[in-house]
């Protein structure tokens, strides 16, 4: 079995981390695996039967709607050449964009396609929703993280879908799991995207410091922080209370001793950052956003606190509750570590392997 993955890169990010996990899971049962990328760079190590093929230099970047369509078609054309040349049996892609690339690339070939939705389809634009419905309907199999995301596509037959959660991947960092907690609230993501709700957390901080003025909000992520949030911070007059740390390569080690980890996202699949924070015993507050990832991990008042999405007051109140109630804080932190039992890598690896094997065998 020769398998291909088409994506932008294998750098930081939840989708990239999960795709790398799937690649390593398949390596023992695949003959060859080809990673077709439009950007250079790779922060992951892979077995010897995995080869990265960079096609970015061959792609003419598009501008405007028509140019972007041409760019997508060009990526599909170059991917198709690799599919044919390397006799790829199954091509896998994460997200509607690269799944569209994949289904175009394998047209009139014997190659099968596995697509995977990693975000909340309810939150993407109407045009992208149409693109995703087209692409996923053409797939031989579509993998979702959550049933809530799968339910968005009722026209895809059940035998062509699978719901496979993210695994808990233990951090290699070394840290004290029962630290003396600092007066810091942390927010973190790979990218400073609007859907991660950093602005909600910043607005909540304005209310938090009214009750706890000795606390600071520490933010991790990649992007132009000042351009995105500088004006908001100045308008709220809370500049001394905000610390932007950039992107961390050892995030759990960096935040293991904060008082609260806050995830105020507008949408989340199964958020790796929340899963890892819970496993590290960090008290967590998360928004109950679509398609339901935080709710899958958090049982309110048991192993963390859930708040309504985009509700600044409820977010601030939940953080303050954890700061002011040591008994609750310690209880949810201890219970949070048990989440790892539900998401053992071995279980998730086997689910992904069976997904590919059944497609290869012709059994959906």
CATH of the domain at 250: 3.40.50.2000
Identify whether residues 6 and 81 lie together within a single domain.
yes
Asked whether the whole model's pTM tops 0.75, one would answer yes
* Number of domains making up the chain: 2
Identify whether residues 23 and 130 lie together within a single domain.
yes
- What is the C-alpha separation between 248 and 175, in angstroms, rounded? 15
Identify whether residues 324 and 355 lie together within a single domain.
no
* Per-residue confidence (pLDDT) for residue 273, from 0 to 100: 92
Q: At what angle do helices 312-324 and 198-211 cross, to 10 degrees?
A: 50
Tens of pLDDT along the chain (364 residues) come to 999 999 999 987 778 889 999 999 999 999 999 999 999 888 899 999 999 999 988 777 777 767 788 999 999 999 999 999 999 999 999 999 999 999 999 999 999 999 999 888 888 889 999 999 999 999 999 999 999 999 999 999 999 999 999 898 876 667 787 889 999 999 999 889 999 999 999 999 999 999 999 999 999 999 999 999 999 999 999 999 999 999 998 899 999 999 999 999 999 988 889 999 999 999 999 999 999 999 999 999 999 999 999 999 999 999 999 999 999 999 999 999 999 888 889 999 999 999 999 998 876 6
Identify whether residues 196 and 139 lie together within a single domain.
no
User: Judging by DSSP bridges, how do beta strands 284-287 and 258-263 pair with one another?
Assistant: parallel
Q: Give CA 175 to chain center in angstroms.
A: 24
Within-domain flag for 74 = yes
Identify whether residues 190 and 68 lie together within a single domain.
no
Are 36 and 7 in contact by the 8 Å Cβ rule? The answer is: yes
Classify each residue of 54-93 as buried b or exposed e, where b means 16 or more C-beta atoms within 10 Å of its C-beta: ebeeebeeeeeeeeeebbbebbbebbbebbeebebbbbbb
Beta strands in the chain (DSSP E): 2-7, 32-37, 50-54, 90-94, 112-117, 141-144, 161-163, 182-191, 216-222, 242-246, 258-263, 284-287, 305-307
The candidate with the shortest Cα–Cα distance to 163, out of 287, 270, 27, is 270
* Per-residue confidence (pLDDT) for residue 108, from 0 to 100: 92
> What are the two backbone dihedrals, phi and then psi, of residue 199, each rounded to the nearest 5 degrees?
-65, -35
Residue 155, domain extent: 2-167+344-360
Residue 143 CB-density burial (10 A; 0-12 exposed, 13-18 middle, 19+ buried): buried
Identify whether residues 254 and 276 lie together within a single domain.
yes
- What is the C-alpha separation between 20 and 43, in angstroms, rounded? 10
């Amino acid at each position: 079995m020769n398998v291909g993955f088409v994506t932008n890169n294998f750098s930081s990010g939840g989708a990239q981390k999960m795709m790398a996990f799937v690649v390593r899971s398949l390596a023992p049962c695949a003959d060859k695996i080809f990673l077709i990328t439009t950007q250079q760079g790779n922060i992951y190590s892979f077995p010897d039967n995995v080869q990265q093929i960079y096609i970015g230099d061959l792609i003419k970047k598009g501008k405007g709607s028509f140019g972007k369509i041409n760019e997508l078609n060009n990526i599909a054309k170059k991917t198709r050449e690799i599919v044919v040349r390397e006799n790829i049996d199954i091509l896998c892609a994460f997200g509607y964009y690269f799944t569209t690339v994949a289904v175009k690339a394998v047209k009139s070939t014997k190659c099968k396609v596995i697509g995977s939705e990693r975000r909340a389809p309810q939150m993407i634009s109407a045009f992208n929703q149409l693109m995703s419905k087209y692409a996923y309907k053409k797939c031989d199999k579509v993998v979702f993280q959550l049933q809530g995301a799968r339910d968005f596509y009722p026209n895809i037959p059940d035998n062509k879908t699978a719901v496979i959660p993210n695994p808990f991947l233990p951090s290699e960092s070394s840290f004290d799991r029962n630290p003396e907690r600092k007066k810091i609230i942390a927010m973190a993501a790979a990218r400073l995207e609007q859907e991660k709700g950093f602005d909600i957390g910043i607005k909540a901080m304005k209310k938090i410091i009214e009750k706890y003025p000795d606390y600071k909000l520490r933010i991790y992520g990649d992007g132009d922080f000042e351009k995105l949030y500088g004006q908001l911070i100045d308008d709220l007059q809370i500049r001394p209370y905000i610390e932007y740390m950039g992107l961390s390569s050892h995030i759990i080690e960096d935040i293991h001793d904060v008082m609260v980890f806050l995830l105020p996202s507008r949408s989340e699949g199964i958020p790796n950052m929340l899963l890892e924070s819970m496993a590290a015993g960090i008290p967590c507050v998360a928004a109950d956003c679509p398609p339901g990832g935080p709710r899958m991990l958090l049982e309110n008042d048991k192993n963390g606190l859930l708040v309504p999405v985009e509700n600044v007051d409820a977010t601030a109140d939940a953080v303050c509750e954890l700061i002011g109630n040591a008994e609750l804080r310690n209880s949810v932190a201890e219970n949070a570590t048990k989440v790892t039992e539900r998401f053992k890598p071995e279980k998730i690896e086997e689910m992904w392997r069976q997904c590919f094997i059944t497609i290869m065998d012709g059994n959906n």
